Amino acid sequence: MLRQRQNVFYHDYTVNVCAGAEAGIGLDALGPVRRSMADPLESKTITLSCGKLTTGVTVKPWTGILMLRNLKSPETYFQAAFRVQSPWTIDNPDGLHPNETLILKRECYVFDFAPTRALRQIADYSCSLHPDETISPEQSVGEFIHFLPVLAYDGSSMKRVNATDVLDWAASGTSATLLAKRWESALLVNVDDLTLRKLMNNQRAMDALMSIEGFRSLNDDLEKIINKSDHLKEMKSKDEKPTREEKKEMNAEEKETKSLRKQVQEKLIKFATRIPIFMYLTDYREQTLRDVITKLERNCSRRSPA
């Protein structure tokens, strides 16, 4: 395609296909690429790679990389991207000043066919560098893009994208409807014995939940679930083989306990689905669920008096 008559711009480029067994394995694939460049200051090359030369190699003349593969891992993504970041300099360029260094490559670029994916990789990778919850995602992304600026084409010019825009655009790949549905997932609500015991032992949390319509009998439900669960464990721990009547009793209690757990879980999920609405109504930008619970405008979730 690049050799077609209308693509005059690419006629001066040598295309290296660095893929398959013929290209070599590991560093063996690097030799043909360097030889095709001859004098990098005079030649123009494009290297097509399918997983080769993306880690552990240095090709100084490379000044840009075009991501065409749908990489999911931020580490793999940036390992490949950093190949073009290798400095390209010449010491003592005129042969008369040994302490002088000529910088041949001052800029390098990463182009991505999937902008939302690229921004999501930046957001995930930069936030993983700062696991400390006291640092906001905006701060983490801001520090990262200070050294790796993100440029966007805005109609007629290129402009730098700030940290807030990176996070907003990275999240825009998920529709509001799908995002809201995630709050309905049963994975968000754990109703095992340990979690229910912790909830029961937190009187402040129990009082807050039982003040909500639909949770009036929560304490009784939790006690019933835990007592029946303890009784089942006690029956199963006996050395003697259970009788037919005991098996029947155990099956009945297991079904009842499972049903009660599901009822409690459904109530808590129903409560969790209100959180996105609360976040929408507040002026504060919440970063984590902890912010939703502890930060501003707590009265927003309270029912107004009639």
pLDDT (tens place) for every residue of the chain, 306 residues total? 777 888 888 888 988 888 877 777 778 888 888 888 888 888 999 998 888 888 888 889 999 999 888 777 888 888 888 889 888 998 988 888 888 999 999 999 999 888 888 888 888 888 888 777 678 888 889 999 998 899 887 777 888 888 888 887 777 665 556 667 777 888 888 999 999 999 999 998 899 888 888 888 888 999 999 998 998 888 888 888 888 888 888 899 899 999 999 999 998 888 888 777 777 776 666 666 677 767 655 555 555 554
CA neighbours within 13 Å on the CB side: how many for 68? Answer: 8
Which residue is listed with tokens 């030649």? 43
Where does 192-249 show beta strands of DSSP type E?
none
Torsion of CA 47, 51, 57, 63, to 10 degrees: 40
Which residue is listed with tokens 């549905």? 181
pLDDT of residue 225: 92
Which one of 143, 175, 207 terminates a domain?
A: 175
Same domain for 130 and 44: yes
pLDDT of residue 168: 78
Q: What share of the chain is helix, strand, coil (3-state, %, to 5)?
A: 50, 10, 40
Q: In this structure, is residue 205 part of a structural domain?
A: yes
Whose CA is closest to 192, among 261, 269, 271?
A: 261
Which residues constitute the domain of residue 207? 186-273
34: Cβ–Cβ under 8 A, 6 or more apart, which residues? 59
Query: Tokens representing 35?
Result: 């030889």
Q: In this structure, is residue 290 part of a structural domain?
A: no
pLDDT of residue 296: 56
What does DSSP assign to residue 41? T
Q: In this structure, is residue 306 part of a structural domain?
A: no
Same domain for 211 and 150: no
Which residue is listed with tokens 């809201």? 180
- Rounded to 5°, the CA angle 128-75-286 comes to 25
Query: What is the pTM (predicted TM-score) of this model?
Result: 0.55
49: Cβ–Cβ under 8 A, 6 or more apart, which residues? 18, 19
Q: How far apart are CA 188 and CA 136, in angstroms?
A: 23
**Cα dist from 153 to 62, 64, 79, whole Å:** 23, 17, 25
pLDDT of residue 158: 83
Which one of 108, 140, 175 terminates a domain?
A: 175
Number of domains in the chain: 2
Amino acid identity of 37? M
150 within 8 A of 128, measured Cβ to Cβ: no
pLDDT of residue 62: 92
Q: How far apart are CA 207 and CA 219, in angstroms?
A: 9
Q: How far apart are CA 84 and CA 58, in angstroms?
A: 8
Same domain for 117 and 208: no
pLDDT of residue 203: 92
Same domain for 163 and 16: yes
Same domain for 195 and 96: no
